Amino acid sequence: MKPMIYHFKDHLISPQKLDIKSIYVIAKLKQHGYTAYLVGGSVRDLLLKQIPKDFDVSTSAKPEEIKKIFKNCFLIGKRFRLAHIKFGKKIIEVSTFRAGEITSALIEENNIWGTAQEDAFRRDFTINALFYDPENQTIIDYVGGIEDSKEKILKTIGDPKIRFTQDPVRMIRLLKFKARFDFTIEKKTLLALKKCKKDIKKSSQARILEELLRMLESGSSETFFKLLQEHGLLFYLLPKINLFLKESKKIYELLKQADIYTCKHGSLSLDRSILLSCLVFPILEKKISDKDLNLFHISQEAKKTINNIFSPFFHLSRKIKINMISILTTQFRFTTTFKKKIKIPKDPSFILALQFFKLRAMHQKTFFKKYNIWHERFISSHKNKKFLSKT
């Protein structure tokens, strides 16, 4: 099958928008006789005039061959073998073209090497299966991804029911792209989503949690969680949150403020414990609203609420849980009656609690007076102020 080739005049992706390190990796692989392209999300985002977070490379070179070319290369994964090429803190992820059956009920082997065409047909959605060749500034399209991007359509590659059964996380990714780009979901893909949604819990909780966290960081979290609820996936993943949202929209209100903050500050994204607290705080607040509790007992209730919401499916790290308990508990310190002297606790996560309080104040303007008092007192109590701009 011959791919469609799109030249610069067709896609208008400026070479200045490309990542220098990824271009270097591609050029070096080509020097050694291998085929190599930019692939997936970076090509999609550039095509849609978005800023890519990562620039991944796909190549005909096998992982061990890649490692021989780059001294700064580390191979990772067993089920899905990848090469990570490190440039300081920056990592360029390089995958080898995959082959294999895409019509079976389950992909059991991910390390069968193939051609660029075979690799494209193994990917999830048409808009994610585009290759970009920086040498001649062309996009190579085996699956109709360019036309779908123009028509703003989300479509799986192959039978959507089989594709979702093979890897249910693709349903999360479908709604992720819907939230980010506001594309229309193709009819067959939408019907498959309805039929397969109950299979979502068969997936790795770690993979789903990472997708949820990335969407909380995306600036489109409110829309994304509304889509999860609308299409029934939230019922299976976070049933307590799904139930609460039937009665109250306070979680959406906090997510909206987090999105506003993220879109405004860009790289200064909110800590994940703050973002997860957006999902928990309204439930905790309702739970203890009619109880006269001190901060210690509130922290115990916060811990129980977090466990109740995320267990047994999701496993949050100990660090995130500790930070969330502190963030949630401190909110009730902020809103109590002021004394003449405000004492700033020696809690390293206090700044996170203050940032979360700012999100609440962005929605509930009456909190801004108290927020400003706490913020000023916090600044005056710290000599090292290099990180305070985040609050």
Active-site residue set: 54, 56, 124
Structure tokens at 65: 């061959």
Single out the residue of 164, 383, 368, 390 nearest to residue 269, CA to CA: 390
In our burial notation (b when 16+ CB lie closer than 10 A, e otherwise), range 105-129 reads eebeeeeebbebbbbbbbbbbbbbb
